[in-house]
Amino acid sequence: MSQTYTKILFFILTGIILISCNATKYVPDEEYLLKKTRILVNEKKADAKLYSYIVQQPNTSFLIPFSLYFYNLGNPEYPKDLNEWAEKYPKKYDLYKRWFSLKQTKNIFGFYKGINNWFLTSGQPPVIYNEIKTKRTVNSFKKYFFNQGFFEVKVGFDEEIIKEKEKEITYKITTNSQYYIDTIVPQISSPVLDSIYKQNIDKTYLKHGTPFVFDLFENEQNRLTHLFRDSGVFHFSSDYIGYWSDSTHIDKYKKIILKIPNRRVVKGDSVYLEPFEIIKIKDVNVYTDFGMASLDEQQNVSEVYEGITYYAPDKMEYSPKYLSDAIFIKPGSNYSDLSKKLTISHLRRLQNFKTSIKIDYIDNKDGTVSVNIYLIRLKKYAITTNFDARTSNIKPFGILGKFSFLDKNLFKGAEILELSFQGSFFNTYDDKFFNAWEVLINSSLTIPRIFFPVNTDRIIPKKMSPQTMINLSSGIQKNIGLDRQTLTTGLSYSWRTSEKVGHKFDPYNLQYIENKNIENYFFIYNSEYEKLNITHENIKGEPLEKNNEVILDYMNEVMDPSNDYKHLHPDEYDVVSDVNERYNILIEDIVVPVISYSLNYSTKENLNDQDFYFFTGRVVSSGTLTTLLATKNNKEGKKVFFGLPIAQYIKTEFEFKKYWDMKHENILVFRTFLGAIIPFGNSDNIPFSRSYNAGGSNDIRAWRTFDLGPGGEINALEYNVGSFKMVTNLEYRFKVFDQIYSALFVDVGNIWDITNSNLVTEAGKFTGLRSLKNSAIGSGFGIRYNFGFLVFRFDIGFKTYEPYLIDQNKWLTNYNFGNAVYNIGINYPF
């Protein structure tokens, strides 16, 4: 039935598209729709980046111009009011008047008009070819190539009518020869600037033999401006830098003269020149609560620390000792743009002040400058609430609510205390209404510095934005899985060695895991009961009662060496042995003490940057130090901590993401993830909560979470996990119209076992590159709606390659809507 509805919906949507498929429906007579633009550079296809210089672009399109067709479903000449509608459609108007009242007829017209306007505003009107804009594009290309050193560039265009009312424009560019830089001759009047320039000449962008690209001159201008100002030359600006060029006797090479005159000083009606000098900071004043009060009232309370004077209108809410960690402008130091930038960024990271931080520099008569820093405090206390709806294999459907309390200046050092309470209510599979729940209580303290007994400034200086986070949380579940209870405490340090590189080190993270409802195991893992039931029927000739005590007694009976089931019923014994081992792994209460380090590298420059890459690597060690300190062993010979066995394993993870900006809000995204876990020492197996799983809305979307793997195993388990994971995703995102976007994607990967577990067959083990043949492939498409503050996502994943199929073709056997997986998510998957 669901497949029938899907097909009906598909044909309806197809019909709507076909109705509007006349692309020139609203193109006026003797006008042309701009169907396509092409660029040829020296008779070859141009790079994609050149298309951004075209002034008039065709309608946005992916395969077909969806946004144009959507616009064409409307009518730009639709009547503006009821009277005009009645004149244009008299029969329809009379019919409605006979059936409905005048008020109802007005409402019907308003409804039709609203639908029509929605099509027009959500879609994109046809782009009508404009020759003036084409000529502007020609000038744009001339300017671009001239700035690249092609001073003799020729640009033209051809028009071609490819269909009635449709045109294609081809821009033809002949670059001719490129010019190069010969020698650089500096003419710098101020001795201070000349000295700084010569000391840093090796970093120049303008070198002999470099193409004469105008961007290089701008880069050099910016480099010198930052260099001089960061060296203390406060009054310098980029306006003082000028370039002159002369052709030399060597063809296509130009000599560059760099001129920087002395500083222009205006006093009254007089203007004179004087050499630039290095300027020092005389004093620094920080107004910690610069609100509505007057400047005099801001100075009621003052305190001096390390030469910096801190002011407050009432009482000093912040400790100057700790606030000074975020201030890099120091009395007696040279002026520096970098110090100003660091001060603003570090004060913002404290999350205690509004982002509109103001810093004023005031010239003094003695040639120094005074600095005033104005901060506007945020409210000390804040309460936030969040609500969400979630679904997964373990939690079929649920409503989540989160309540948080924030104290943004706990110990007067901009420390942030967060206390949160998170509650979830779920439906379980027995059709009872919200009979399951989960509660998580969390407390965290974020300290904007390294909190450690020994001073770490030499290793991690303040400019690296160090942070310390201490957290304690507890979670309780009821009627969810085995009703797991957790207690977690941890300490972590984070810092940034540059704008691109971030580090995080967790020297201590301890989690206690206890399963409170192990009696529910064979109801949750029904497939395990079914395996035992078959062996019970084979041995005893009758079904196994689905009762926890009866099942455990049966397993103990089979595993008891005195009963010799291993020889009497070897096949059944092996099955029961596997189920028993898996049962002991999954119900085990355990302590997981973790030490971890992660490295992040990102080339993303700002929130709007869509052309960058991101890499993260993480190494985790569990139980390494704790087992050395533990002295007691349990009856199995394993070391315990507070009576619980200690999980011991090593985990490594790597993730790489690359984004390509394909222009016109089209983005291509590539992601790959690789992770491995190996138990050792005190552990023979990996804790279930730390194992890898495959599938889900952010993974391989053609399978649900836990449904896939390991490897090529035909696995009937409810929750499949592995110790090795490799996933690669490729997604093309494009705009359809208005705030609606779409995507085409391919997901490849799986989980495998690398621990040589006897619970996994050879098909589920990773033994080398040949095991990659058991990678699953899913493909599909998605619809996303951008609300601005979040993106709602609906993806449909189709099983394209199923490595576990034996008697059927692994390719496209279940590639249909009936076997597809429908994923709902918030924001993008990666």
Bridge partners for 702 per DSSP: none
Q: Which residues in the chain land under pLDDT 50?
A: 1-9, 11-12, 18-20, 392-393
Model confidence over 97-138: pLDDT tens digits?
Answer: 778 887 787 887 888 888 888 888 878 889 899 999 999 999
The answer on 169 and 39 residing in a single domain is yes
Bridge partners for 442 per DSSP: 420, 473
Say if 761 falls within a structural domain: yes
The answer on 317 and 263 residing in a single domain is no
Q: What is the pLDDT, as a whole number, of residue 11?
A: 46
The answer on 192 and 146 residing in a single domain is no
The answer on 81 and 43 residing in a single domain is yes
CA distance 95 to 78: 19
The answer on 200 and 320 residing in a single domain is no
Specify the number of domains making up the chain. Answer: 5
Say if 144 falls within a structural domain: yes
The answer on 121 and 50 residing in a single domain is yes
Say if 8 falls within a structural domain: no
The answer on 47 and 98 residing in a single domain is yes
Model confidence over 747-803: pLDDT tens digits?
Answer: 999 999 999 888 888 889 999 999 999 999 999 999 888 887 778 889 999 999 999
Q: What is the pLDDT, as a whole number, of residue 137?
A: 95
Say if 530 falls within a structural domain: yes
What is the number of other CB atoms lying within 10 angstroms of the CB of residue 480? 20
| Domain limits for position 522 | 518-587
The answer on 187 and 164 residing in a single domain is no
The answer on 696 and 564 residing in a single domain is no
Q: Kind and range of the H or E element at 749? A: strand 740-752
The answer on 125 and 212 residing in a single domain is no
Structure tokens at 264: 């222009």
CATH number at residue 773: 2.40.160.50
Say if 730 falls within a structural domain: yes
Q: What is the pLDDT, as a whole number, of residue 444?
A: 96
DSSP three-state, residue 659? strand
Rg (CA), the chain: 35
Are the CB atoms for 127 and 58 separated by under 8 Å? Answer: yes
Beta pairing, strands 612-622 & 416-427: unpaired
As a whole number of Å, the end-to-end CA separation of the chain is: 34
Q: What is the pLDDT, as a whole number, of residue 4?
A: 46
Which domain-ending residue is among 209, 239, 274? 274
Say if 407 falls within a structural domain: no
Say if 79 falls within a structural domain: yes
Model confidence over 321-353: pLDDT tens digits?
Answer: 999 999 999 999 999 999 999 999 999 999 999
Model confidence over 216-253: pLDDT tens digits?
Answer: 999 999 999 999 999 999 999 999 999 998 765 567 88
Say if 117 falls within a structural domain: yes
The answer on 257 and 121 residing in a single domain is no
CATH number at residue 295: 3.10.20.310
Q: What is the pLDDT, as a whole number, of residue 123?
A: 83
Share the mean pLDDT of the chain. 87
The answer on 127 and 38 residing in a single domain is yes
Which domain-ending residue is among 587, 612, 640? 587
Which domain-ending residue is among 587, 610, 631? 587
739-758: burial string, b at 16+ Cβ within 10 Å, e else: eebbbebbbbbbbbbbbebe
